[in-house]
Each structure stands twice: as C-alpha cells, then as structure tokens.
C-alpha cells in the first residue's frame, strides 16, 4: 500500500491507497496551522486502522515537499524519511503546488497561490490539463508579495489559500474551491504517474526581502 501525506500548509492531510489501482482506502484532512507535529502520527495510525493494515504492509510513501512554512514542512518530511528508512521502502516527493493544480477540474490554464505567511504567497502557473488530468508547470514555484505578482496571476483562475486571503490584491478572475493540498490527489497521482516525482527534499524558496549569509537551513537532522 502507498501512504501519502502533506504538511506544507495549514492542513495535515493523509491518505492510504492501493499501490496498483490508486483506489483510496482511507483519508483525512485537519486544518490546524500550529499542530502538525501532534496531528500527523495519529492521522497515519488512523488511516492504517481504517484500512485494516499495518506499517509493514506499506510499499511506498509519497510526501508533499512544499514550498511551505518551515515548521510544518519539516514534520512531514522527517516523518516520511524516518518511516521509509525503518521500513526499507521508497519515498516519492511531489511539489505541493502541483497537487493543488491537479485538484482543479477546470479545463483552462490555472494559477496556484498558497499562504507563505508574512503577507506573501507561494505561486506557480500551469497549463490546461492533459487527457490524463496532469498539468504542466509553466512558471514557478516562486514566493512574492501579492501586489508584486498580481500582474502575473491577473485574469487566471487561482487555486489555494493565498487566493482566498489576497484575491482582491491579486485581481484574480476566479478562485477555485481547493484551499489546501489533498493527500488523496497525491496518492493517486503518484500511483498513476500523473504527478512529477522528485526526491524527498524540502522545496525552499528565498523570500524577496531576505539575504542569506550562511545558506539555507536544512529541514532534516544530519
């Protein structure tokens, strides 16, 4: 079985899927920006219990790699890599903005904007969906103040929490309903090959007003 989860946003989302068909066997999503560390492990345990499975039956883990705020993102990536190491299985990383783009049912190009905090958004642009539902990322991911990227997103349907928070500033044509990445979409996308898979490393973006003197900090213990 494939276990999928994403903690790159205010939501902790978990899903368990059949590794061949992608059928979702169990899933949950809880929105609480301050309790990722408390919520993730019980959510994984609950998904396994619902499916009548044990951790030893997992064959692969899929995890959202961000971009996202450091603390929440770290919880998901450390959990994924630790579990995979103990169980001796593979971890597939996926850009969390790609998940949101894949969640849209619109047949048009779309933009994704999530909450980067500090009055900024993580954003990316995507082509219209292919026959299998996949979307090609055209630009991004990047992090900017909403006003600084409004000219890029203006006129496009926008998915994500950032569009809800800053829709008036971004001047978006429409706000799609999905605010947070879905572990169900992550699971089925990895099983069916309709999401691009990367290594389980954090996707950090340098903020436009920050100068890094010592390089980016690692999300994982060495």
pLDDT at 222 over 90: no
Q: What is the DSSP string of 24-74?
A: EEEEEEEE-TT-HHHHHHHHHHHHHHHHT--GGG--EEEEE--S--HHHHH
Burial grade of 47 (CB within 10 A; 0-12, 13-18, 19 or more): buried
Min mean pLDDT across 51-55, 101-105, 132-136, 175-179 is at 175-179
Burial grade of 131 (CB within 10 A; 0-12, 13-18, 19 or more): exposed
**Of 154, 72, 65, whose CA–CA distance to 113 is shortest?**
154
Taking residues 182-195, report their average pLDDT: 97
Average confidence score pLDDT of the chain? 91
The pLDDT, as a whole number, for residue 209 is: 55
Q: What is the pTM of this model?
A: 0.90
Min mean pLDDT across 93-97, 129-133, 176-180, 182-186 is at 176-180
Alpha helices in the chain (DSSP H): 36-51, 70-87, 96-103, 146-153, 161-170, 183-192
pLDDT digits (tens, 9 = 90+) for 47-69: 999 999 999 999 999 999 999 98
The more confident residue out of 184 and 212 is 184
The pLDDT, as a whole number, for residue 70 is: 87
pLDDT at 214 over 90: no
Neighbours of 171 (CB within 10 A): 16
Q: Which residue(s) pair with 28 in the sheet?
A: 14
């Amino acid at each position: 079985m494939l276990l999928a989860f994403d903690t790159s946003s205010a939501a902790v989302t978990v899903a368990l899927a059949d590794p061949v068909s992608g059928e979702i066997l169990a899933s949950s999503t809880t929105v609480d920006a301050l309790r990722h560390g408390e919520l993730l492990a019980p959510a994984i345990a609950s998904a396994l219990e619902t499916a009548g499975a044990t951790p030893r039956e997992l064959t692969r883990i899929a995890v959202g790699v961000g971009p996202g705020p450091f603390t929440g993102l770290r919880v998901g990536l450390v959990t994924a890599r630790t579990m995979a190491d103990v169980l001796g299985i593979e971890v597939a990383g996926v850009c969390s903005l790609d998940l949101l783009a894949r969640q849209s049912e619109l047949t048009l190009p779309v933009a994704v904007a999530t909450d980067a905090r500090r009055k900024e958004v993580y954003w990316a642009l995507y082509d219209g969906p292919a026959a299998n539902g996949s979307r090609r990322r055209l630009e991004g991911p990047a992090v900017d103040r909403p006003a600084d990227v409004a000219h890029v997103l203006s006129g496009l349907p926008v998915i994500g929490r950032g569009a809800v928070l800053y829709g008036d500033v971004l001047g978006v044509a429409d706000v799609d309903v999905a605010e947070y990445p879905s572990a169900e979409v992550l699971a089925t996308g990895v099983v069916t090959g309709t999401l691009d898979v990367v290594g389980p490393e954090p996707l950090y973006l340098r903020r436009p007003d920050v100068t890094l003197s010592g390089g980016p900090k690692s999300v994982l213990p060495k």
